[in-house]
Amino acid sequence: DAKTTQPNSMESNEEEPVHLPCNHSTISGTDYIHWYRQLPSQGPEYVIHGLTSNVNNRMASLAIAEDRKSSTLILHRATLRDAAVYYCIPARFQGAQKLVFGQGTRLTINP
Amino acid sequence: DAGITQSPRYKITETGRQVTLMCHQTWSHSYMFWYRQDLGHGLRLIYYSAAADITDKGEVPDGYVVSRSKTENFPLTLESATRSQTSVYFCASTERGGLAGEQYFGPGTRLTVT
């Protein structure tokens, strides 16, 4: 499995953009990059995923480096509800999509 | 209600007892998963299932047993609970088990083994 490196914690202000980085230098060519987040006392929640090109959805944008060794999750306008632990997960299909959760980045949003 | 549910939400048991955690999803998703999350750590995959009667081990399967007789249910049994199995257990499901796809997680079961 590809190893990931994320900052342990980040802090931002409400209504400002947030860029959450992730390094996955050992990613294989067939691994999709998934992002999940976990709000306090809840199960993880899917945010976004991508393979090579940048992706957007209603929650966030995902910018993937050209060499695919890093990616950045972008929250365009953070709210207090975005305070969570964010996990970057290169997922490989081996009979099933196995997600390997690392430590993630704990995001704090200041009002 | 539609979605993925887990029961019980909280459970306290004694060392050596058998415990079964239930997971039920209403989407008829083919794939289901069990994860555990220890305090302050990320999730680790225990077992997963690609369809009814098809199960396979994840990263930390020792001490656990699963079954999947019906598509919508995926119970996890601790045959003889140990203190090291104190954790929060999450069940998940997905329609597509392939390279990409969204896994939907349940609310979790907080298990304490005394």
Question: Across residues B103-113, what is the average pLDDT?
Answer: 95
Interface contact A43-B103, CB threshold 8 A:
no
Parallel, antiparallel, or unpaired for β A84-93 and A97-98? antiparallel
Using pLDDT thresholds of 50, 70 and 90, give the confidence band for residue A96.
low
Chain B partners within 8 Å of A45 (Cβ): 105
Phi, psi (rounded to 5 degrees) for A82: -85, -5
From residue A82, alpha-carbon distances to A36, B12, B77, B107 in Å are: 12, 32, 34, 18
User: What tens digit of pLDDT does each residue of B17-76 get?
Assistant: 999 999 999 988 889 999 999 987 889 999 999 888 999 999 899 999 999 999 999 999
Of B42, B102, B104, which is closest to A101 when you measure between CB atoms? B42
User: What tens digit of pLDDT does each residue of B66-90 get?
Assistant: 999 999 999 999 999 999 999 999 9
From residue A91, alpha-carbon distances to A101, B16, B76 in Å are: 10, 35, 24
Is pLDDT of A36 > 80? yes
Interface contact A46-B103, CB threshold 8 A:
yes
Question: Across residues B96-112, what is the average pLDDT?
Answer: 82
User: What tens digit of pLDDT does each residue of A60-82 get?
Assistant: 999 999 999 999 999 999 999 99
Q: How is residue B19 written in tokens?
A: 């415990």
Is pLDDT of A91 > 90? no
Best A32, A51, A97, A101 residue to mutate vs chain B (most B CBs within 10 Å) = A97
Within B1-114, strands assigned E span: 4-7, 10-13, 19-25, 31-37, 43-51, 54-57, 64-66, 76-78, 87-94, 104-105, 109-113
Cβ neighbourhood burial of B31 (10 Å; 0-12, 13-18, 19+): buried
Residue type for A99, please? L
Which chain B residue lies closest to A33 (C-alpha atoms)? B100
Question: Across residues A38-46, what is the average pLDDT?
Answer: 93
Distance CA B70, CA B98 (A): 21
Determine the pLDDT at residue A94: 58
Is pLDDT of A95 > 70? no
Of A43, A46, A51, which is closest to B102 when you measure between CB atoms? A46
Is pLDDT of B100 > 70? no
Distance CA A11, CA A83 (A): 9
- Rg (C-alpha) for chain B, rounded Å, is 13
A23 half-sphere exposure, CB direction, 13 A CA radius: 5
Distance CA B65, CA A98 (A): 18
Cβ neighbourhood burial of B70 (10 Å; 0-12, 13-18, 19+): exposed
A87 at the B interface (CB within 8 A)? yes
Determine the pLDDT at residue B99: 52
* Cβ–Cβ < 8 Å for B76, B64: yes
Q: What is the rounded average pLDDT for all residues in chain A?
A: 91
From residue B27, alpha-carbon distances to A39, A100, B34, B70 in Å are: 23, 24, 17, 13
Closest CA to A63 of A84, A88, A45, A40: A88
